[in-house]
Structure 1
């Protein structure tokens, strides 16, 4: 009766079980983000943003050097232009 409304579940549809590596990666991500917030008054926005994104990309498995330089650079530049130059938010 419910097969017309809800499709049958298969094992490929179920999420992977929680692992120790996944929990440790979550904890490391939280530490990196807390350090990012703590460094706002110490370093410039573009520098801490660049380093934080590189660390998170490394943590989640990205190893291509082009990606590790270009993507964080673009994100850091966009945030710097948006908040520091256009909106003139005092970040330090």
Structure 2
């Protein structure tokens, strides 16, 4: 099996679909998944990532009502900028 951990890895494996053949592909951390993201692969399964930043911030404020500051960290990579 081939394991991919984000959108970019799934894109790469999809581009190599003719070489991957019927090798199972297992993915995780895929954003806004659609069947088109793996249209060249024959055997695919995985877990889709659903980002709900606003809902999570509201939940944090509910669970920690005295929260004054909330820091969000990301790097400058392509994935970090999404």
**Range of TM-score over shorter length:** under 0.3
Please give the TM-score of this superposition, normalised by the length of structure 1. 0.25
Question: Counting strand residues as a fraction of each chain, which structure ranks higher?
Answer: 2
Higher relative contact order structure (alpha carbons within 8 Å, sequence separation ≥ 6): 1
Compare CA radii of gyration and give the structure with the larger one.
1
